[in-house]
């Protein structure tokens, strides 16, 4: 009888050990799943912010009459004395609106860690450019690193400062109709 109880005890210990290992693997898998979900959401939020920034940049550039830029900042001026500036500040791009020299509003766009924004303006071609470069340093399933790869978002507008209202010759203009 003694021998049998020792065997049962040994089998129980082995089963508990195998169960513990399986539980540990399940917890690790669950933890990695939550971590991947959090990283994906973070990247998605940054991509949305970069997309909003590019869209807003194009809209402001299209409505600008004049522009000035260096690599860290671009300033658009419209015909109704509104000044819109974009400035690169440590992983953020700040968009500030001033009406008649007084600050009206500002917003910040998060670019993510290791991301750089650059502004350019070519007055000869009436072209404003926003370039966002994200450094990618991730490992794939096999452990190969793609360090140094870059993801680039570029927003370019070619009509800064050009009059976009079509001119109609007076003899071709249609007379207005009276409304009843």
More confident residue, 42 or 140: 42
Q: Is 35 left (phi over 0), alpha (psi -120 to 50) or beta?
A: alpha
DSSP assignment string, 76-111 = EE-TTSEEEEEEEETTEEEEEEEETTEEEEEEEEE-
User: Quick one: pLDDT at residue 152?
Assistant: 59
User: Quick one: pLDDT at residue 172?
Assistant: 42
User: Quick one: pLDDT at residue 86?
Assistant: 92
The CA-CA-CA angle for residues 154, 63, 90, to 5°, reads: 45
**Is the pTM for the entire model greater than 0.85?**
no
Average pLDDT value for residue range 7-16:
90
């Amino acid at each position: 009888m003694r021998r049998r109880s020792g065997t049962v005890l040994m089998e129980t210990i082995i089963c508990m050990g195998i169960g513990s290992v399986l539980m540990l693997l399940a917890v690790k898998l669950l933890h990695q799943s939550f971590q991947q979900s959090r990283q994906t959401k973070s990247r998605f939020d940054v991509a949305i912010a970069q997309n909003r920034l590019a869209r807003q940049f194009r809209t402001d550039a299209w409505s600008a009459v004049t522009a000035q830029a260096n690599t860290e900042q671009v300033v658009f001026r419209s015909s109704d004395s509104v000044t819109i500036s974009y400035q690169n500040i440590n992983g953020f791009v700040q968009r500030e609106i001033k009406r008649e020299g007084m600050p009206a509003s500002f917003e910040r766009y998060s670019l993510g860690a290791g991301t750089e924004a650059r502004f350019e303006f070519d007055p000869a071609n009436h072209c404003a450019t926003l370039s966002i470069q994200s450094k990618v340093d991730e490992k794939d399933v096999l452990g190969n690193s793609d360090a140094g790869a870059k993801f680039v978002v570029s927003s370019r507008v070619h009509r800064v400062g050009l009059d976009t209202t079509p001119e109609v010759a007076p003899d071709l203009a249609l007379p207005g109709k009276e409304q009843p």
